[in-house]
Amino acid sequence: MKDSNKGFTPIIIIILTIILIGIGVYLFSKGNKSNNISENPTSISVQPTTTGEIYTNTEYGFQVTIPNSWKGYKMETLKSNSETIFSFELPTTDKNQLLNKNGYYVIHQIVATPIAQWKEEMKNANPNEPDFCPSLGQNKNYEFCDDQSGPQDFPLDFADSSGYLKGLTEFLNSFKVINQ
């Protein structure tokens, strides 16, 4: 009887190992997903131009040019309370950066706030506060602002010669509200 159990034990160990590996892979992949809200893919378009890519979001009603110097960028859409944050991120090798998210640095964020909420927030707003979000424009549903909060120290690999900082000015100057 003891001999028949010897072959059974390694099989149980193998099965348990496979199950544990499967659980680990599932938890790892689940933990790596971002807090992105799902957007209607037909509301987003990216059109290449000679100066960069024009990112258009017809759901929210805005357009901005992503400069050519922002190679490898990604954009995440995050929901915070009733605001929607469009986070533009660039790859970085600087591991010491506070805003380094899995190898990406948040170079800039545009915040879309419902008009009624924006008006309420502006009643007590102080433009001299560091977390003040200056307006970029509005359409019938949203006020868009330039989120300048957070650290302003850029990653070491974002030297002026890289064009990232010049690209930031181009990016902001290209922002425009489109009809919704």
Distance CA 100, CA 98 (A): 6
Q: Do 167 and 88 form a contact (C-beta atoms < 8 A)?
A: no
Distance CA 147, CA 39 (A): 21
Distance CA 4, CA 134 (A): 75
Residue 175: which of 73, 75, 78, 61 has the closest Cα? 61
Q: Express each pLDDT in 161-176 by its tens digit.
A: 566 667 888 888 899 9
User: By mean pLDDT, which of 38-42, 67-71, 77-81, 147-151 is the weakest?
Assistant: 38-42
pLDDT category of residue 152 using cuts at 50, 70 and 90: low
**Mean per-residue pLDDT over the chain, rounded:** 75
pLDDT at 112: 93
pLDDT category of residue 60 using cuts at 50, 70 and 90: very high
